[in-house]
Every structure is written in C-alpha cells, then in structure tokens.
Structure 1
Amino acid sequence: PLEGDREPHEKEVGSLPHVADVQETNDSSVVSKASAAAQGYFRDPFIQHFVCKVSRRAPLINRGYFVRWRAVDHCVRHFLLITAKCPKRQILSLGAGFDSLYFRLCADGALDGTAVFEVDFPDVARRKAALVTSNATLRGMLDPCLPPIPQPGPVYMCSSQYRLLGVDVRKESQTEEALSAAGLDWAAPTLILSEVVLTYMETQRSDAVISWAAKRLPQSLFVMYEQIRPDDPFGRVMQDHFLKLNSTLQALQQYPDLLAQRQRFLDKAIFMEFWSRALQHFYNSATGGWMNERVICLVELAKHHGWDQCVCVDMNAFYLGLLPQEERDRIETLEPFDEHEEWHQKCSHYFILTASRGALMEQALLSQASVPSVSPSWGSTELKVSTVPVCLEGLGLASTWMRSEGLLLTGGSSRRGRVTQSRSLIRDQNGWRSTSVEASADLGMRLYHTVTPLPRGGGAVVYGGRSSPLRPISDLFKLTFDPSAAKAPRPDAEKVQVEPMECTGNPPPPRFRHTATVVQHRGRDFLFVFGGKNQSACALSDSSFLSLDQQHWTEFPVGGDVPAARHSHSACSYLGSVVVFGGLSGEGEPLGDLSFLTPTERGFDWIRVAVHPPPVPRYSHCAHVFGDKLIVVGGVWMQSDGVPGIVIISLSTYSSMEFRLDTSSVPWPLMLHSFCSELTDSEEPALLLIGGGGNCFSFGTHLNPQPVSVCLQPIYDYLQPPGL
C-alpha cells in the first residue's frame, strides 16, 4: 500500500501550511490516476502527460481510483446528455489540480457548446499551465488564445472552451470576479464539480461555497465526491492517516453519513424557504411604498437560493447498482485481486452526490442505486470485548484446537510478510501465552486455507489456500498433536506431526477462501469442501467429499436447492449435517442465506431455510455452533451502517438476533475480517478472535496487534435451546 498516496485535492482548497504539500498531494494522486489508466481501468491518454513517469500502483489503489473516476465521469456525461440541446453550458471544477477532464471530453467530441472552467490555488494553476504549454499534445487541444482578459481575473490559460484560474474559492467576491472576467455565464446550465475538496475546508466555509453556488447558478448541478463514516474501524484509520498528514477531514464531524450529507444540501433550501415565507408574511402585513418593493426583492431572492433535489449514494451502491454487470466483469479480469474486504470498505467510506437547481437539472441527478438496505434486528445487550495481552497479528490465518487449552495457528500474513512458521496459543492459570511450534514438516506459505479438526481427537486436516491470487494450493496435510503436551510444564515449543495426504480419486480444483467441514454419510466421516475461489473463478459452487478413512475423493449425488457460488462464507458441522451461512457471491455481493447440506440414502441434499428477521448479508466472518444456535461473528457488510458484531441464528426456530460489540476497552480500531476465531468451553463462554485487518486503501496497513475475547455470558440464556 502507498501510505502517502492522498486524494488529489486534499489541501488545494483549505488551510495550507506549505506549498510543497500541495505539490506532493497533487503529484501523488496523479500518479495513481495514471497507473489505473495504464492498467486499462479507464481510458485517459492524457493523464500520463501530467506525470514524470507512469508507475504501477497496487490493484486496490487502481480499483479505488477507477470507481472514483467512473462515478464522476458518469455524472459529467449525464449532464452533457441532458443539456445537449442547450446553446451554452459550462463545467466549473473546484480544486481541479492536474485533472485531465477537459482534454478527455475534447478528444471525445463531447464539448459541443461547453466551456470548462478550472479553479485552483495560483501555484497549482501556474504549474498546470506550464505543463500544458510545454506539451505538444496538450497544447494542440487548445485553440488560439482569446483576447487578453483584463484583471482582476487571474486567468492562467484561456481558450474558447477552457479557462484555468488561480484563485482561492473561499474568497467569494474574488472568485466571482475572476469567473466573470473569464467569461462564466451565471445563467447558463452549469455542472459544479468538487472531488475531495470541500472536506478539507473549515465546515463553515465549505457550507458557504455550497450556498454560494446555489445562489449564483440558478440552473446548476453540484457533483461532490468525499469521505463519510469516520467512526468505525476503517474510518478511524482513514482519519488518523489524514491527521498525520496535517489534513484533517473537517466535514466528517458534522456530516458523517449519507443522510447528513444529503440534508446538508437540502437544509439550504429549507432555510431559504423559511425566510421566503417569513418575508412574504411581512410583506402581506406591511403598508405600501418602497418597503414593499424591497421585501418583494428579498422574497424572490430567498425563493431561488436553495438546492431543489439531492441524491447521494456510497461507492458500493454506485458500483453494484449503477454499473452494468459487463463492466464489472471487465474490471475483474484486469489484475489478480484478492482484497475484497478492503475494497468494499473503501467504497463504503466514499460517496458521490448530485444536487440540482432548476427544473432541467433535476433530470441530471443520479439514479437511486438498486442495492437495498437492510436494518439489523439489534438486541439490547452489548457484548464486552477485552484484549488478550499476547503480541500476535496476521490476516488470512487459520486455527484449530490441539487440546482443551491449546490452539494451533497456521499460515497468514503479517507486517513482516507471509508466515511459514506455525504458532500456538496456550492457556494456563496465568492466561494466554504464545509459544513456538516444532513441526515435523513445513506447511509452506499459505493464506485463506482451512484447518479442520477431525472427529474423536484425530488431529486436523490442512487444505487449500494460496501463496498469491494466481497460485492456489491443492495439497492436503494431516496434523497429529502430541497427547503428552498437556501434562508437560510450560513447554518451550508444541510438537506437531505433519504428514502429506496422498489421496486417490478426482480431486477438486485448487482453491482458497473455501470451507472444509466434517460431514457424515452412513456412519462414515467425509471432509466436505465447498465454495471458495481460484485464479480462474471469482466464486465456486461445487461440492467435493474426501473419505477420511480411505483418503479417497468420493463422488456423491447432490440435489436440492444448491446455494449460489460463493467464497469467504462459513460452514459448521451440525448433527451430522453442515450449515452454510453468508459469503461473497461471484457478482461481488454479500450473501445472507442459510442452507443445510443433509445426508440422504444415496448422497446429500441442500435445504435452504428462511431466517426471520433476515440477518444482514455479510462475508469474511467466522461461525460456530453452540447447542442449537449458530454464532456468527464479524465480517464485512455493505447494506447497513456500522460494522457487524455477532448475530445468533437459531437452527431450530430459524430466528435471529444481532448484538453489538462494546469495543471501548480496545485501544485500537478492531477490524473483524480475514481473522479466525475459536469458541472457548470454559465456565464463562467466550469467543477468542485472532488476527484480522488488512490494507486500508492508501491509508496504510492495519492489523489487530493482539487477540481479543468476546464474553458471551450476558446472552448465555439466549444461547440455550428452547424450554431449558
């Protein structure tokens, strides 16, 4: 991840300690845009001219800049379509930086009757003008300059369809004078573009810009792209990143979510409507003369100073609800990608907003995305989370019990790189401690694999995983644990016997992010492998069965309501069957369905059940069976605010209840995805959560530095079977 990579306009409008900060910010973001364009995410042959060298960014960065570019481009193209019959129209870009919008639209022949006005600080505008002037390709897309424009307008470039201004938009009168001098028509249909600009101003000043635009441009569409949701774990990492860069996200405190951002624009209209009615009442009660004329003017002014309509969606809703499936499929083919959690969290923390003034501009508003929201059915109890004082981090690792007081941890990735050495967590009278593991053979480097405990204390089976998104792993190992270790006084290392499993039959394709669960058929134990993904499939739906006594891949007829292809789901053994919940579909949407794989005389059947109220769809979670309850913890969702805590699903009544986690005693942002968990069987039932976290877009890598424990005692009665 590129920890210093920032949005292009972070401090181009707002408090500026150093001009060098602007240059660093602008240069870094332009490199990211150029990287995404070079990898084929979008077509922009001009952005390369604004960088010294096109460098390749990580796939997550490329996707993040693609969805931003695509959302803005969608709004701009729709505006141009709606205003196609207007003789004159305008685009006003605030804090434009080194954006190539004008050059792209010009090359596409999309600027018929359209002028593009770009506003930025004088230093940024001066640098951009110098770059354009010195580049033959860019310079050739400008017609000869118009006659010189008199001051005070600081116009650095002037063409019939392109004006580049160096001015501070916080200074309303200077901005108006400069735009008027540059030829802006205040009555013409205008798109105002603000990409991560206003949030870096003091909120009072950014609100003033929004009101100013509505006041001065009566036929306009405001398009804004910014951050939201500052208080969840990802949002805290995002905020901390910008604080370290002395670039506080000002607007997040007052406008933390979609509703607040939408109301931010509509409140301007409500406020002005209030004053319009108040002034109208004053006029009706006043006597004639010049006072009535003054009030009439104020009434008319108030009626036309607010935004009429506003539509605001986060980038998950935009990507899944407004982009065609074919385009999303194309994006999936561009680069190997396996950072789904971080991608969806990035998209849930940014939004695209359109607000309209005037009847024509209402047609240019964003369509409401078709991704439905789901409201969790929250229980009244919050479950306390406490830290476990052991330094242990990682993502994509797997765990299993070696014995009642000892856990084995395998694989994963940490800040120091991929983990090849297994580790253990041992609990004694003093609490948890970490020890090393002496394995008879190397399990290799793997992430997102499974370690499945075998019945009757028979050890465990390691299956699948990946070393990279292009290198899934197909081998199997049987693990046997030293039974005498429990009696040894604080051993320095746990001994684990590792044996490769030589299996016969037709093995399934290699995979990762799958599940492997023990299921029974006619008294025999089988390892049931379901779902996952690999280098050639976004999600898998096949079912495979490994006979554990014969080590033979066995084919069974599987019928019933087969679940959709998925990965990052959960699967738990339950009364000889398997219960599967959630996951991420091949279309990139979280799932919230519950299915049972049950044995029949000849094979297995899938049975899907409806849960009421339905749990919020999620993936990258963990699940455990406790009696007749399925305990689901953590994960990633996108159809509800906040982050998942714990949902309890009754496997007998098919009801559910969500419970929030109280993380107030955890001194870091607790990210519960790409982690593993184990249900402890102590006197006080609890969940031990180990690892988790990931690359938080361009804000840096965050991994939970210690395990945490979730106390289930407050809902112990709820976990009991009915009638007990």
Structure 2
Amino acid sequence: MPTTNRKKQKGRDTAVQGTNDSSVVSKVSAAAQGYFQDFFLQHFVCKAARRAPLINRGYYVRWRAVDHCVRRFLHVTENCPKRQILSLGAGFDSTYFRLHADDALDRAVVFEVDFPDVTRRKAALISSNITLRGMLDSHLPSLTGPLYVSSGQYHLLGVDVRQESQVEEALGAAGLDWAAPTLILSEVVLTYMETQWSDAVISWAAKLLPQSLFVMYEQIHPHDPFGQIMQDHFLKLNSTLHALRQYPDTAAQRHRFLDKGWEECVCLDMNDFYLGLVPEEERCRVESLEPFDEYEEWHQKCSHYFILTASRGSLMAQALLLHAPVYPVSSVCPSWSATALSLRTVPVSMEGLGMASALVRPGQVLLTGGSSRGGRRAVTRILLRDQEGWRFVCVEPSVDLGVRLYHTVTSLPGGGIVVYGGRSSPLNPIRGLLRVNLDPSGPPGPLDSQKGRDTMKLCVEQMICTGDSPPPRWRHTATVVCHEGKDFLFVFGGKNQSEAALGDGYFLCLDKQHWTEIPVEGAPPEARHSHSAFPYQGGVVVFGGLDRRGVPLGDTVVLRPTERGFSWERIEVEPPPVPRYAHSAHVIGEKLVVVGGVWLHSEGVPGVVMINLSTCSSVEFSLDTTSVPWPLMLHSFCSELTDPEEPELLLIGGGGNCFSFGTHFNLQPVTVDLRPVLG
C-alpha cells in the first residue's frame, strides 16, 4: 500500500477506535440509570457523563439484544465439556467480567480481539484496577502483543481483525479450540471495514469454526432520511459504514451469511427484537426509568439497527433468534400506487419540531410553539401567501402563549382559534385553554418602520371553562364536532406524565365554555397518542396513533352523530393501511388523506395513504423527494390545505433528534401535489 494510502487508513483506524470510547461512556450512562446492571463498565471510563434518555434507551436495546444471544448460547451449550466466546473488535466491552461475576462461565473461555492500541489501553486499565485484576485467575503478562492479557478463562489479543492469518495464528497460540462450540460477537465492528474484508471475516469464521454461532449488531437502511443522517454522522467521524452499500437491509444481511458458508441465519431489526423478544414486564420497567417523549426517533433508531444470529452445526441452530416477531405490525405490507407524488420546496427559511398550526383564512397559517435550533421557544408566526409568494409575519400576542410542544390549535367555525394542551417538558404539561383572534384589520401592510419586519396583532384570552375538565395532556387531538345545533371541541387521546396513552374523550361546549357530558355509544377505540382526527359529517374520523404498548395503530374509527349524542364506528379498510403515528390527516370529500408519520414496516417510509371512506379502500403513495435538497423527515410537522380550490398540501416544520447523530430540521416548507390522490 502506498505511503499516502497507509496514512489515510491509519487515520480511519484511529477514528474507528474512537467510537469505542464514546460507546462505553454511553453504556455507563445507561447502566447508571438502571437500564441494565453492569458494575464493571465504570472501570473503563475516565469520566462518566449522563446521556439523553433516547441514547440510554438505544444502548439498552443493544445491550439487551447481545446479552439475550450470549445467554441463549450459554444455555444451549451448558452440557458441553468446553465452550468459547470470541469477541471481534471487543473494545472496552465488559462481557467477560460481568459473566464471570454471575458464575455464568462454567467451562467457558472468552477471547477478545481488537487493534493493538485499544488492547494495550484495556490491558493497562485491567492491570491497574484491583477489581478487574481480581477477576482473573492468573497473573498479567507483560504488555507485548499479540497476547496482552492471559488467564484461565480470559485472553485479550491485540491483532487487526482484517489480518486473517495473524488472527488465526494468535488465537491458536492463545488456546482457542477450533472444534469447540464458539460464540462469535461483532458489535458494530465489521461495517467499519471495507466490505471485502468483512466478508472475508464472515467466511473465515464459517470455515474454521464448524460448531459456532455468529452474533452481529449493525446498521441498515441507508437510503431513507434517517439513514442518510446516520451515514453523514459516521462519515464526519471518519468512520464510514461500508457494509450498508451492499447489504442495506435484514434480507440482504441474511443472504450474506448464507452465501458465506453459514447454514442458518435469522436477522431482526431492533423494533422486532424489542417488541417481540423483550417481555412486556421488562419493557414497562425500562420505559418507566426516565421521562421520555422521543418516540419517533426511538422507533426510527430501532428500525436502522439489527441483531443477527447465524449458525454452523445442529447444536448452534438451537441458539438462533426466533424467526418471527410476536406482534403483527410489520406483517402489514403497503399497497403501493405506481404513482409517486411530487414535492416542491417553498422558498421561506423556517424550522421547528412539535409546532401546531391552524388555517386562519385561505393563504394564512398560524404557527405556535415548537422547538428549533435555539431550543424551545414561544414564537408565534403567520405564514402568509400574497402575490409575491409565501412569507413569514411575526405576531405580537396580547398574552404570552408560553413554551409548548405537541399541543393543538383548532380553528373555530365562527372565527377564532383555540389553543389547548401541550407540554414544556415531559414532566410539565400545560393546563387550560386559550382563545386567539387575529387583529381584524387583516394582513399586514408595509414593513414596520421601527422593528424592520412585518407584524400582526394577536388577541389572546384565557378561557374560563366550567364542568369537569380533562386531565392535562399532549400529543392529543382537538376537533370541532356538532351536537344539537351547537359546536363542541372534542378532545381525544394523548398522553401525560403518568399515562402512556389516554383513551378518553371530552366535549367542550364552545358557546357556554362548559365541559359537557354527551352520550357516546359503541366500543371506544384503543387508548392512543400521536394520532390524527379530522371533522367528518358532523363528527370526527380518527386514524392511527401509538398505543399504550408503544405499538403503532392502523385503524380508522369514526365518531358519528346520533339522535342522543355520538356513536363510535370502526371502518374495516381493505387493504389495511400500514399502522403509523405522528402523521397528519385531512378529509377531502369522502377521502381521508394521511400524510407522513412513522411506521415500523421495513419497506420505505410513509408517504401519503388515501383512505376512501365510502368504499373502505386504501392506496399508499410514495413521495418523490428528488426536488428537496435535504433529507425530508415527516414527523413533528404541521400540514394545511391552504386553499380549498387547490389540491395542494403545505407541510411545515418537522424533523427529529436522530439518536446520537444530531438534531435534524426540515429547512423549508414543502408542498405536495394531491391531484393523483384525489383524481
């Protein structure tokens, strides 16, 4: 290899080694918050740091998946006279120490392999720590490679995993028994290598270890918006994810192992693993550890990582992961139309997550709350369309609307807007209702000479309501329905700091400002949040959402007016739409148009699903995003039909905090041409 290329490769290797240091700090954070028990990780970190709940959850599900596979291997081989664990690119992993403390390594030997520099550092940490050193049953050798630590049940080797002959020689010299049942661990290791090298490692292991189980945890789905952001993150770290190009999904990874000499292979994304193989009681325990409200990013993170087991030998086939998840969400396949809907960016700079919007009048959209690159804020704005196109107008409210996310802003038939619910943090829901009216003088004129910008006045009044009010909530819906000639605000679902999902509905008489009990017949829909609701024939049509278990829903339910009150009616749609949440929806004629959101299906990302409420049929449309110069993430966004005469939907804001890859914002509004949907 030329000198320049050798220097570049060394730089990339150093960057990859740096991912070990970041990873172990995150694991220590998750352990410290009680996600899992690992007393030994702390000894490999110089300075602990508390990570965000989303990152803690992400490292929990990684730890849980690998631990599940390790324990399964140890159970299957419990009667074998000898068994081995071979960890490739082990870094500062503490598996040996944790299993040794649990007395789980009877007749088992652990071999760890990593770059010499990483191994040298780990050996020094072990040697200088009385707790770690005490877990070894013999003395430490001098820190010379490739064998840096050697004891009866633990061997630490400093060898580049890409150097097959050196790895084979070093393992043989350290005492690896090629015929004994062996678990091979690879946690985000092989993808950092050029694909021909990682393929060679997989083939080498299959050839030399006839009784073995390969366990791999890595990334998938590089082409959707989250996948693009994920790839860019690792590229900036000089740690390119090579395997994604050739093996972009679980099916490709499975075929990869079968083609490289493995007899059986099961590959699950982490949504399948978490919802299918982690007991519900354990999920409830984990989900109660910290305040959490990043469901979209959690599910997307889990859909972009997988756990894989591949086996050689009949005994090891018994240690494979289950072939199928035990929940039905991912079994619903999209019924794709051949037509993709075109998008167009609106040349207005804006960003925001968790905002709420309402159409004030054609061409005027009120936007409240949300968060942006500067953090949570209470900026209220009007997105205004005039002859020159769209522009933002700042609004001066008479009363501060406060900092709020995931609230509702509902336009009223007689004019005005009601702002309800939301939160400033997952521990701080916002109570009460506000009634908002724009200055009747209409759209602004020339720029305000003193402030140098357009401004509009906003009259804000606290609504003093009587009756039994709903518990505070966010991620709910608030829709206007009609009963006995009067308009009511129907508040349904959502969540709060104590309830994972709410299933109750409340009626506020807008005329008397009184929370009113109205008879509702029929089986109520499941409790949910992050669903959609839209006025329909005097009632409301509800679609999707996330249930109490954290599983997306795909049902369509109508609250219909009756002589006495209302009645719930479930509509059986064929083909059934793929369950999703965090979407938006609009009724146009007899068509429910559902846009964006998050689903757990592995095939693409949600675009637009059209549900015909008359024929009870549905069609999924993908979005042509080639004209959008950034990854378009359609959750935590708003949408409005800004002109009833035009079949065009305006999408505003959106994005997400993408695990540990940074926060992504959609930079401008976009429009969706709905003519193929409505035609």
Shorter-chain TM band: over 0.9
Offset from partner CA, 1:633-663 (integer Å, 9 cap, x none):
0000002411000001111111111101000
1:108 paired with 2:102, answer yes
Within 1, Cα distance between the matches of 2:596 and 2:13?
43
1:345 paired with 2:300, answer yes
Does the 8 A contact of 1:515 with 1:532 survive in 2? yes
1:476 paired with 2:468, answer no
Cα displacement (A) at 1:681: 2.0
Does the 8 A contact of 2:351 with 2:654 survive in 1? yes
How many positions carry a matched residue from both structures? 664
From the superposition, tell whether residues 688 and 67 of structure 1 become closer, same or farther in structure 2 (CA, over 3 Å): same
**Paired position in structure 1 for 2:91:** 97
Cα displacement (A) at 1:605: 1.6
For 1:278-317, list aligned pairs within 5 A: 306-317=261-272
Q: Quick one: which of 414, 419, 435 aligns to 1:462?
A: 419
Offset from partner CA, 1:152-207 (integer Å, 9 cap, x none):
x7110011000000001111111111000100000000000000000010101100
**Paired position in structure 1 for 2:310:** 355
Does the 8 A contact of 1:396 with 1:448 survive in 2? yes
Within 2, Cα distance between the matches of 1:609 and 1:348?
29
Q: Quick one: which of 48, 67, 78 aligns to 1:73?
A: 67
1:62 paired with 2:24, answer no
Q: Quick one: which of 283, 287, 305 aligns to 1:328?
A: 283
From the superposition, tell whether residues 667 and 541 of structure 1 become closer, same or farther in structure 2 (CA, over 3 Å): same
Q: Quick one: which of 567, 570, 579 aligns to 1:608?
A: 570
Cα displacement (A) at 1:25: 2.3
Q: Quick one: which of 191, 213, 219 aligns to 1:221?
A: 213
Moved more, 250-259 or 682-691: 682-691
**Paired position in structure 2 for 1:295:** none
Does the 8 A contact of 1:616 with 1:640 survive in 2? no
Cα displacement (A) at 1:686: 0.6
Offset from partner CA, 1:393-437 (integer Å, 9 cap, x none):
000000111221211100000010112120111001111111101
**Paired position in structure 2 for 1:370:** 326
Within 2, Cα distance between the matches of 1:493 and 1:66?
48
Within 1, Cα distance between the matches of 2:614 and 2:523?
19
**Local SS of the residue matching 2:340:** strand
**Paired position in structure 2 for 1:539:** 501
Moved more, 562-571 or 373-382: 373-382
Offset from partner CA, 1:337-373 (integer Å, 9 cap, x none):
0000000000000000000000000000001222342
Within 1, Cα distance between the matches of 2:299 and 2:128?
40
Q: Quick one: which of 117, 122, 126 aligns to 2:116?
A: 122
Within 2, Cα distance between the matches of 1:329 and 1:614?
29
Within 1, Cα distance between the matches of 2:446 and 2:121?
69
1:498 paired with 2:498, answer no
For 1:490-529, list aligned pairs within 5 A: 492-529=454-491
Cα displacement (A) at 1:232: 0.1
Moved more, 432-441 or 552-561: 552-561
**Paired position in structure 2 for 1:556:** 518
Within 1, Cα distance between the matches of 2:444 and 2:32?
60
Within 2, Cα distance between the matches of 1:662 and 1:364?
43
Within 1, Cα distance between the matches of 2:602 and 2:489?
35
Within 1, Cα distance between the matches of 2:272 and 2:562?
41
**Local SS of the residue matching 1:632:** strand
Cα displacement (A) at 1:682: 5.7
Within 2, Cα distance between the matches of 1:129 and 1:234?
37
Q: Aligned AA for 1:371?
A: Y
Does the 8 A contact of 2:444 with 2:455 survive in 1? no
**Local SS of the residue matching 2:75:** helix
**Paired position in structure 2 for 1:436:** 394
1:485 paired with 2:442, answer yes
Does the 8 A contact of 1:684 with 1:711 survive in 2? no
Relative to the length of structure 1, the TM-score reads: 0.90
For 1:255-266, list aligned pairs within 5 A: 255-266=247-258
Does the 8 A contact of 2:443 with 2:456 survive in 1? no
Q: Could you tell me which runs of 5 or more consecutive residues in structure 2 were left unpaired when the two chains were aligned.
A: 1-7, 449-453
Cα displacement (A) at 1:490: 7.2
Does the 8 A contact of 2:610 with 2:677 survive in 1? no
Moved more, 403-412 or 482-491: 482-491
Moved more, 435-444 or 310-319: 435-444
Does the 8 A contact of 1:22 with 1:124 survive in 2? no
Within 1, Cα distance between the matches of 2:250 and 2:17?
31
1:42 paired with 2:36, answer yes
Moved more, 357-366 or 520-529: 520-529
1:235 paired with 2:221, answer no
Within 2, Cα distance between the matches of 1:691 and 1:99?
40
Cα displacement (A) at 1:488: 4.8
Q: Quick one: which of 634, 642, 649 aligns to 2:611?
A: 649
**Local SS of the residue matching 1:461:** strand
Offset from partner CA, 1:464-510 (integer Å, 9 cap, x none):
00000001111100011233314856782122211110001111100
Does the 8 A contact of 2:364 with 2:642 survive in 1? no
Within 1, Cα distance between the matches of 2:294 and 2:400?
26
From the superposition, tell whether residues 167 and 603 of structure 1 become closer, same or farther in structure 2 (CA, over 3 Å): same
From the superposition, tell whether residues 490 and 244 of structure 1 become closer, same or farther in structure 2 (CA, over 3 Å): same
Relative to the length of structure 2, the TM-score reads: 0.96
Does the 8 A contact of 1:150 with 1:181 survive in 2? no
Q: Quick one: which of 193, 199, 212 aligns to 2:185?
A: 193
Q: Aligned AA for 1:222?
A: F
Within 2, Cα distance between the matches of 1:490 and 1:711?
32
**Paired position in structure 2 for 1:33:** 27
Cα displacement (A) at 1:683: 4.5
Q: Aligned AA for 2:628?
A: V
Within 1, Cα distance between the matches of 2:322 and 2:122?
34
From the superposition, tell whether residues 487 and 188 of structure 1 become closer, same or farther in structure 2 (CA, over 3 Å): closer
Does the 8 A contact of 2:358 with 2:366 survive in 1? yes
Moved more, 551-560 or 632-641: 551-560
Cα displacement (A) at 1:150: 14
**Paired position in structure 1 for 2:379:** 421
Within 2, Cα distance between the matches of 1:310 and 1:159?
33
